[in-house]
A and B are shown apart, each in its own frame.
Chain A
Amino acid sequence: GENVEQHPSTLSVQEGDSAVIKCTYSDSASNYFPWYKQELGKRPQLIIDIRSNVGEKKDQRIAVTLNKTAKHFSLHITETQPEDSAVYFCAAAGTDSWGKLQFGAGTQVVVTP
Chain B
Amino acid sequence: DTGVSQNPRHKITKRGQNVTFRCDPISEHNRLYWYRQTLGQGPEFLTYFQNEAQLEKSRLLSDRFSAERPKGSFSTLEIQRTEQGDSAMYLCASGTMANTGELFFGEGSRLTVL
| Chain A residues engaging chain B, CB cutoff 8 angstroms | 6, 32, 34, 36, 42-46, 49, 89, 91, 97-106
Contacts and interface: CB of A to CB of B under 8 A. Distances in A.
A99 B44 CA distance: 12
A105 B42 contact: yes
Given A34-B102, A44-B91, A91 B42 contact: yes
A106 B44 CA distance: 12
A106 B41 CA distance: 7
A106 B40 contact: yes
Contacts of B16: none
Given A43-B91, A43-B106, A43-B108, A98 B101 contact: yes
B75 to A, nearest CB: 13
Contacts of A46: 102-104
Nearest to A102: B45
For the complex of A and B, the 8 pairs showing the least CB-CB separation, nearest first, are A103-B42, A98-B101, A43-B105, A89-B42, A44-B105, A43-B107, A100-B45, A99-B33
Contact of A99 (B4, B40, B95, B107): B95
Contacts of B56: 97, 100
A45 B100 CA distance: 15
B74 interface: no
Interface string B86-107: 0000010101010011111111
Contacts of A89: 42-43
A102 B41 CA distance: 12
Given A100-B56, A104-B42, 16 more contacts: A6-B42, A34-B103, A43-B105, A43-B108, A45-B105, A46-B103, A89-B43, A91-B42, A97-B56, A98-B97, A99-B33, A99-B93, A99-B101, A99-B103, A105-B41, A106-B40
B90 to A, nearest CB: 12
Interface centre among B4, B101, B105 (most CB of A within 10 A): B101
Interface centre among A36, A46, A98, A99 (most CB of B within 10 A): A99
B103 to A, nearest CB: 6
18 contacts: A34-B103, A42-B107, A43-B107, A43-B108, A44-B43, A46-B104, A49-B100, A49-B102, A91-B42, A97-B56, A99-B31, A99-B33, A99-B93, A100-B48, A101-B103, A103-B44, A105-B40, A106-B42
